[in-house]
Amino acid sequence: VAGAANCVKQQAAGEQAEARTAIQTALRAESRTLNISFDNVAMAASDFGGLYHHRPSAMVSPATVEDIARVMRALSRVPNVTVAARGNGHSINGQAQALHGVVIDMRSVKDPSSASISVGKEADGSFYADVGAGRLWIEVLDATLRHPGLPLAPRTWPDYLHLSVGGTLQNAGIGGQTFKHGPQISNVSKLDVITVNGELKSCSPTSNGELFYASLGGLGQFGIITKARILLEPAPQKVRWIRLVYVDFKEFTQDQERLICNRPAAFDYVEGFIVTNNNDAAAGWPQVPLPEGAFFNHRLLPANAGPMLYCLEVAKYYNACDTSTLGQQISGLLRALRFVEGLHFQVDVSYRDFLDRVHTGEPHLRNAGLWDAPHPWVCLFVPRSQIVAFDTLIFKHSKLVSKGVGGPMLVYPMLRSKWDHRTSAVIPEEEVFYLVALLRFSLASPRGPTAERLVEENEEIVRLARAANIHVKYYLPHFNRQADWQDHFGCKWNHFRHLKSKWDPQAVLSPGLSIFSPPA
């Protein structure tokens, strides 16, 4: 057995050396003018998830979009090569990695014509920003807020803005504004995409529409996005950020649903999360108060409170001129909600601080060793009709999350009609569906549990839900078997596979997803 294992190892090492030589040969001419590293590739073999460490044969740091096209053209002559674009490396499961292949670092594109963020106006008066795909959402926010005369901003956001535009558009880009404006992939009107042959294609719903929709939510399978046109709206100055505590899950979700279905929308942002009903610093009452550290009076909780509490999080945008009526307006909106009286927290912050709120907690997590440890996160979409069953099964009665997950356990609804069904993203069939996200933060083993154990716990949660006939779909999916991908895509699978055979028949792009392998 040991002999056979050695033989397999030697064969793998031989293939790796061969791949590396072929890539080096193909890129040699380019490496005179391009920044290509064949040894210093550790960054390309890492991501926020910390579960996969696949070393590529080369990491390319292009300065311009043309550099990316040149690299793709050069690599098109290499058999079985794989290529992954890397945005800001915040994937969980190695999605931006390419074992023995080539990783293209989109953050290094810096020349003004490729990486600038420029605001423009459509004929109908609406604003947009043309953004280099390697730029972070925080950079987009800062640039659009500086628009002279009228500060602007994208309409819809993820919770964390230090993600690249290109990387987020591979998934969907969801957050508390999704119920109102849809995910970020529903707020893009144009893309520039470099195909696997190194051709630059400008695409929109009316021009190269197939590649446009395939690329949105396309998990990096169809091309490298180099630029995106993002829809903007006038930015408010301030935000009233509110948290309300519930003990009853049904009341919590009914109120969330009422808020997302209200027209016009009562609030500009609706999310929610679950905390344990105790004083645990990472998972319990201390996670709720706004401003942070305000007193959480647990004596106000009714006697029937269970092991978990539910926190509705909403936000209302406003400008300095609205302040006289704001308090009254918000009191009116809150009166209809069924949170525990007295367990109501709020704070006024600038719009920028509100959007960048998750980043504010980052230094603390880094100092505590929680940022650089593995993050076996799991994010699921759960149909509305089954969210109460999910709560009962997993949050109320399963030991798997009874002590929390060391980080946020998000639960919030969104509307299917705000998603464009022509994109590649996969969501449940019901009009209202929930994101359930277990964003685990724990110290690396041996100071904390092993990442393998936590991955198994995530899988167990999904197994339990499916055994109870709860039709969960993964957000930020990752599978190792094509049959699981087929199951994930459901009725979209044949179309997705057809698009892949058209735009990347040799399965070069984003190998870290393990959806397709090169034809034999």
Instruction: Tell me which residues are annotated as active site.
Output: 90, 159, 271
User: Nearest distance from residue 231's CB to ligand FAD, in Å?
Assistant: 17
The interface with ligand FAD within residues 466-485 (CB under 6 A) comprises: 476
- Bridge partners (DSSP) of residue 86 are 105
User: Nearest distance from residue 184's CB to ligand FAD, in Å?
Assistant: 7
Considering only 46, 186, 423, 510, the residue that binds ligand FAD (CB under 6 A) is 510
User: Nearest distance from residue 59's CB to ligand FAD, in Å?
Assistant: 13
Q: Is the dihedral of CA 60, 64, 65, 66 positive or negative?
A: negative
Question: Does 46 interact with ligand FAD (rule: CB under 6 A)?
Answer: no
User: Nearest distance from residue 504's CB to ligand FAD, in Å?
Assistant: 11
Question: Does 158 interact with ligand FAD (rule: CB under 6 A)?
Answer: yes
Rounded to an integer, what distance in angstroms lies between the CA atom of residue 127 and that of residue 136? 19
Considering only 62, 132, 154, 166, the residue that binds ligand FAD (CB under 6 A) is 166
Rounded to an integer, what distance in angstroms lies between the CA atom of residue 37 and that of residue 224? 20
Question: Does 174 interact with ligand FAD (rule: CB under 6 A)?
Answer: yes
3-state secondary structure of 366: helix
Name the one range near ligand FAD by CB under 6 A: 78-86, 138-146, 294-302, 500-508. Answer: 78-86
User: Nearest distance from residue 136's CB to ligand FAD, in Å?
Assistant: 8
3-state secondary structure of 192: strand
Question: Does 269 interact with ligand FAD (rule: CB under 6 A)?
Answer: no
Considering only 129, 133, 337, 451, the residue that binds ligand FAD (CB under 6 A) is 133
User: Which two three-digit tokens encode residue 330?
Assistant: 């918000």
The interface with ligand FAD within residues 205-264 (CB under 6 A) comprises: 219-220, 224-225
Name the one range near ligand FAD by CB under 6 A: 3-11, 54-62, 79-87, 417-425. Answer: 79-87
Rounded to an integer, what distance in angstroms lies between the CA atom of residue 394 and that of residue 309? 14
Question: Does 167 interact with ligand FAD (rule: CB under 6 A)?
Answer: yes
Question: Does 356 interact with ligand FAD (rule: CB under 6 A)?
Answer: no
Rounded to an integer, what distance in angstroms lies between the CA atom of residue 176 and that of residue 180? 8
Question: Does 26 interact with ligand FAD (rule: CB under 6 A)?
Answer: no
511: left (phi over 0), alpha (psi -120 to 50) or beta: alpha
Q: How many residues bind ligand FAD (CB under 6 A)?
A: 35
Question: Does 88 interact with ligand FAD (rule: CB under 6 A)?
Answer: yes
Question: Does 48 interact with ligand FAD (rule: CB under 6 A)?
Answer: yes
- SS3 sequence, 444-508? CCCCCCCHHHHHHHHHHHHHHHHHCCCCCEEECCCCCCHHHHHHHHHHHHHHHHHHHHHHCCCCC
Rounded to an integer, what distance in angstroms lies between the CA atom of residue 218 and that of residue 510? 10
The interface with ligand FAD within residues 183-202 (CB under 6 A) comprises: none
| Residue 133 φ/ψ, nearest 5 degrees | -65, -20
CA distances from 491 to 302, 421, 488, 495 (A): 46, 12, 9, 8
User: Nearest distance from residue 135's CB to ligand FAD, in Å?
Assistant: 10
Rounded to an integer, what distance in angstroms lies between the CA atom of residue 114 and that of residue 227? 8
Considering only 96, 235, 308, 312, the residue that binds ligand FAD (CB under 6 A) is 96
How far does Cα 40 stand from its chain's mean position?
27
User: Nearest distance from residue 223's CB to ligand FAD, in Å?
Assistant: 7
Q: Binding residues for ligand FAD, per CB under 6 A?
A: 47-48, 84-91, 95-96, 106, 133, 158-160, 163-164, 166-168, 170-175, 219-220, 224-225, 476, 510, 512
